[in-house]
């Protein structure tokens, strides 16, 4: 049942070698949970070490991917934890339903979306993924346990990075959808102030912004603001999938190449803006069509820095962007968004504020830059996202996650041998009872 494998998170920076099991039935998950308790992992779309257990065991849930039942009256879907969100979208959108929250990749599984309490482009309206989970099943050494909202174990599990044991299945409150397409309005935004103004005043259901992290001076913070609504209409052909065939050489994402690319990408949108109709998947999961795009960063991999800072910390955001653009280290992938207050777990990332995410090829200077950005986010009363983090310190965690110690006590009571720990938990000493 156990096979030794070398594996990584999406950023391919941290690596693990350990034994993986791939149970196909809930009964097999019960057996493993009883005989060899260890963390469960999904599709390893977390960028860093949250889905790694070096020299230990982990349960890969990719074969536990069945949809178990759907109540058309209530819109509640009962689904195994290894099911990918893209599969749920593909099956249910033509039938008039969507998962209420979708992160930027459809490869994420239900278990992974719960484990990181993921957020989507509608976070400012509907909150986080876990707020739409109406129940879940944990597989513990002494048997299965149904957990419902209101139970402290539920709040420890949502965003709990797998530390309360393997989730076998969950019930999700889906939302009715107006139609099978997305109407997307795209506009150029000339600078950071105009950008934040748009986020503060938009009434659109879905919003997201690409930001040119290489722009400086008066152009600092320029980008493309997208507002989306589902709608009825003919589904346009989806973009064809492409594959990155090999690890790219280092110069592929050098400063001048990225600056050139970003300037052209920005100008792609006409001055007056435009509205386009897209298949839902192209809007929600824009990068999924480029399989293995993480190979563009070469063998050494890459990092994503993602933080959220309070609404009042606009200046910190500006300072961060100034540092990033001056460094010449950013890749084209950079996203800005406003978050609402919604969160469902003790360790959930979302909190009201602006969230900035920037990818950097893994280099020593990038690591230094990210450490500075993390310190700035901490000082501003913000936090970094543990699905992405590679360089925060244990000391920063208590400032960022005020419920961490209570959460750790709850996990340690349930799992005194620390069998569910992953590399991320050990790196940041997240289960220390300080
Ligand atoms: C292109 C891209 C875009 C993204 N966009 C967003 C975004 O917009 N918003 C956002 O919030 N995130 C985003 N992410 C991050 C991603 O959604 C999360 O990291 C998510 O957790 C990945 O799901 P996964 O199934 O790959 O889980 P993994 O990465 O494998 O695991 C994540 C965590 O969940 C735990 N876990 C997984 N399955 C189970 C289970 N069955 N039982 C118990 N614990 C489990 C693991 O132990 C681990 O701690 C993005 C990632 C990529 C690559």
CATH number of the domain bearing residue 317? 3.40.462.10
Please report the atom of ligand 1 found closest to the CA of residue 43. Answer: 26
213 with 302, same domain?
yes
170 with 298, same domain?
no
List pocket residues of ligand 1, CB cut-off 6 Å: 10, 39-46, 50-51, 61, 81, 103-105, 108-109, 111-113, 115-116, 118-119, 161-162, 166-167, 287, 387, 422
Point out the domain boundary residue: 130, 147, 177: 177
212 with 250, same domain?
yes
Least confident of 40-44, 194-198, 231-235: 231-235
Please report the atom of ligand 1 found closest to the CA of residue 165. Answer: 43
Is the model's pLDDT at 99 over the cut of 90?
Answer: yes
Least confident of 17-31, 192-206, 244-258, 351-365: 244-258
DSSP β-bridge partners for residue 336: 209, 356
Is the model's pLDDT at 247 over the cut of 80?
Answer: no
Domain residue limits at 163: 67-177
Question: Where is pLDDT greater, at 384 or 286?
Answer: 384
Sheet containing strand 223-231, strands side by side = 274-279, 181-189, 223-231, 206-211, 334-339, 353-361, 302-309, 383-384
In a domain, 317, yes or no: yes
Is the model's pLDDT at 250 over the cut of 70?
Answer: no
185 with 173, same domain?
no
Phi/psi for 353 (5° steps) reads: 160, -165
For residue 330, what pLDDT is reported? 85
The closest of 131, 132, 120, 25 to 80, measured between CA atoms, is 25
208 with 152, same domain?
no
Point out the domain boundary residue: 177, 204, 219: 177
CB contact burial 170-180 (16+ within 10 A = b; e otherwise): bbbbbbebebb
Q: If you measure from the C-alpha of residue 41 to the centroid of ligand 1, how many angstroms do you get, rounded to a whole number? A: 9
Least confident of 57-61, 149-153, 240-244, 344-348: 240-244
| Total domains present in the chain | 2
d(CA 225, CA 186): 6
202 with 344, same domain?
yes
pLDDT digits (tens, 9 = 90+) for 331-354: 888 999 999 999 999 999 999 999
pLDDT digits (tens, 9 = 90+) for 266-279: 888 999 999 999 99
3 state SS of 98: strand
218 with 344, same domain?
yes
In a domain, 166, yes or no: yes
Paired tokens of 27? 């009964």
Is the model's pLDDT at 159 over the cut of 70?
Answer: yes
Average pLDDT score, the chain: 95
d(CA 278, CA 409): 46
For residue 235, what pLDDT is reported? 84
In which element (H, E) is residue 228 found? strand 223-231
Please report the atom of ligand 1 found closest to the CA of residue 420. Answer: 47
In a domain, 427, yes or no: no
Percentages (nearest 5) of helix, strand, coil residues in the chain = 30, 25, 40
The CATH number linked to 168 is 3.30.465.10
Question: Where is pLDDT greater, at 239 or 138?
Answer: 138
Q: If you measure from the C-alpha of residue 159 to the centroid of ligand 1, how many angstroms do you get, rounded to a whole number? A: 10
For residue 257, what pLDDT is reported? 81
In a domain, 9, yes or no: no
Is the model's pLDDT at 244 over the cut of 80?
Answer: no
d(CA 408, CA 431): 4
Point out the domain boundary residue: 143, 177, 211: 177
DSSP letters spanning 99-136: ES---S-TT-BHHHHHHTT---TTHHHH--GGGGEEEE
Pocket test for ligand 1, best of 104, 138, 140, 340 (most atoms within 8 A of CB): 104
In a domain, 11, yes or no: no
For residue 112, what pLDDT is reported? 98
Question: Where is pLDDT greater, at 246 or 108?
Answer: 108
Q: If you measure from the C-alpha of residue 43 to the centroid of ligand 1, how many angstroms do you get, rounded to a whole number? A: 7
Question: Where is pLDDT greater, at 289 or 405?
Answer: 405
For residue 62, what pLDDT is reported? 98
Name the pTM for this structure: 0.97
In a domain, 300, yes or no: yes
Q: If you measure from the C-alpha of residue 112 to the centroid of ligand 1, how many angstroms do you get, rounded to a whole number? A: 4
Phi/psi for 71 (5° steps) reads: -100, 110
In a domain, 75, yes or no: yes
Count Cβ atoms below 10 Å from residue 34 Cβ, excluding itself.
13
pLDDT digits (tens, 9 = 90+) for 175-193: 999 888 999 999 999 999 9
246 with 308, same domain?
yes
131 with 74, same domain?
yes
**Residue 219 — very low, low, confident or very high, per pLDDT cuts 50/70/90?**
very high
Q: If you measure from the C-alpha of residue 192 to the centroid of ligand 1, how many angstroms do you get, rounded to a whole number? A: 29
**Residue 92 — very low, low, confident or very high, per pLDDT cuts 50/70/90?**
very high
Average pLDDT over residues 56-78: 98
375 with 241, same domain?
yes
For residue 251, what pLDDT is reported? 65
d(CA 128, CA 114): 9
Q: What percent of the chain shows pLDDT beyond 70?
A: 99
CA count, 13 A, side-chain hemisphere, 309: 23
In a domain, 49, yes or no: no
In which element (H, E) is residue 86 found? helix 85-92
For residue 260, what pLDDT is reported? 81
- Is residue 420 within 8 Å of residue 163, measured between CB atoms? yes
215 with 161, same domain?
no
CA count, 13 A, side-chain hemisphere, 179: 15
216 with 111, same domain?
no
CB contact burial 373-392 (16+ within 10 A = b; e otherwise): bbebbbebebbbbbbbbbbb
């Amino acid at each position: 049942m156990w096979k030794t494998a070398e594996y990584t998170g999406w950023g391919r920076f941290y690596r693990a070698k350990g034994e993986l099991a791939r149970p196909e039935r809930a009964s097999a998950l019960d057996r493993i949970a009883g005989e060899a308790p260890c963390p469960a992992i999904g599709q390893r779309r977390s960028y860093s070490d949250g889905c790694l257990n070096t020299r230990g065991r982990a349960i890969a849930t990719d074969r536990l991917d069945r949809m178990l039942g759907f109540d058309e009256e209530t819109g509640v879907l009962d689904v195994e934890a290894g099911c990918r969100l893209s599969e749920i979208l593909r099956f249910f959108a033509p039938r008039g339903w969507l998962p209420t929250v979708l992160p930027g990749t459809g490869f994420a599984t239900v278990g992974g979306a719960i484990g990181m309490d993921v957020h989507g482009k509608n976070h400012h309206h509907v909150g986080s993924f876990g707020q739409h989970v109406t129940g879940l099943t944990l597989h513990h050494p002494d048997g299965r346990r149904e957990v419902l909202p209101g139970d402290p174990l539920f709040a420890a599990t949502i965003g709990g990075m797998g530390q309360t044991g393997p989730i076998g299945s969950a019930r999700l409150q889906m939302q009715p959808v107006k139609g099978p397409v997305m109407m997307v309005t795209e506009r150029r935004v000339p600078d950071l102030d105009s950008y934040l103004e748009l986020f503060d005043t938009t009434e659109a259901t879905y919003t997201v912004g690409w930001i040119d992290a290489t722009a400086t001076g008066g152009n600092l913070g320029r980008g493309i603001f997208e507002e989306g609504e589902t709608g009825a209409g003919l589904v346009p052909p989806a973009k064809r999938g492409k594959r990155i065939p090999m690890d790219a050489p280092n110069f592929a994402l050098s400063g001048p190449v990225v600056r050139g690319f970003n300037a052209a990408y920005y100008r792609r949108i006409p001055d007056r803006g435009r509205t386009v109709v897209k298949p839902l998947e192209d809007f929600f999961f824009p990068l999924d069509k480029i399989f293995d795009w993480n190979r563009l960063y070469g063998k050494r991999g890459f990092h994503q820095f993602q933080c959220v800072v309070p609404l009042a910390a606009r200046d910190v955001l500006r300072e961060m962007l100034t540092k990033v653009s001056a460094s010449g280290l950013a890749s084209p992938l950079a996203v800005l968004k406003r978050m609402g207050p919604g969160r469902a777990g003790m360790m959930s990332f979302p909190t009201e504020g602006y969230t900035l995410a920037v990818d950097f090829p893994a280099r020593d200077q990038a690591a230094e830059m990210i450490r500075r950005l993390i310190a700035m986010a901490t000082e501003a009363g913000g936090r970094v996202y543990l699905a992405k983090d590679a360089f925060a310190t244990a000391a920063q965690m208590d400032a960022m996650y005020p419920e961490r110690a209570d959460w750790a006590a709850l996990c340690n009571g349930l799992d005194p041998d620390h069998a569910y720990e992953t590399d991320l938990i050990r790196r940041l000493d997240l289960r220390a009872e300080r």
